[in-house]
Amino acid sequence: MFSLQNKTAVITGAGSGIGRAVAELFAQQGATVFILELNATAAESALAHIQEKGGKAFAVPCNVTDQAQVKDVISKIVAQAGRVDILVNSAGISHIGRLDNTSEADFEKVFQVNVKGAYNTMQAAVAQMQQQRGGVILNLASIAASVGLSDRFAYSMSKGAVFSMTLSVAKDYLKDNIRCNCISPARVHTPFVDNFLKTNYPGKESEMFEKLSKTQPIGRMGRPDEIAALALYLCSDEASFITGTDYPIDGGFIRLNG
Tell me if 235 sits within 8 A of 228, measured CB to CB: no
DSSP 201: S
Cα–Cα distance, 57 to 203 (Å, whole number): 39
Q: Which of 155, 173, 201, 247 is catalytic?
A: 155
Rounded to whole angstroms, the Cα distance separating 152 from 93 reads 12
Burial 173-205 (b: 16+ CB within 10 A, else e): beeeebbbbbbbbbbbbbebbeebbeeeeeeeb
Give the bridge partners for 9, in sequence order: 33, 86
Active site annotation includes 173: no
Sequence-ordered list of residues with C-beta below 8 angstroms from that of 146, at least 6 positions apart, any chain: 163, 184, 246, 248, 254
- Residues labelled as active-site residues: 155
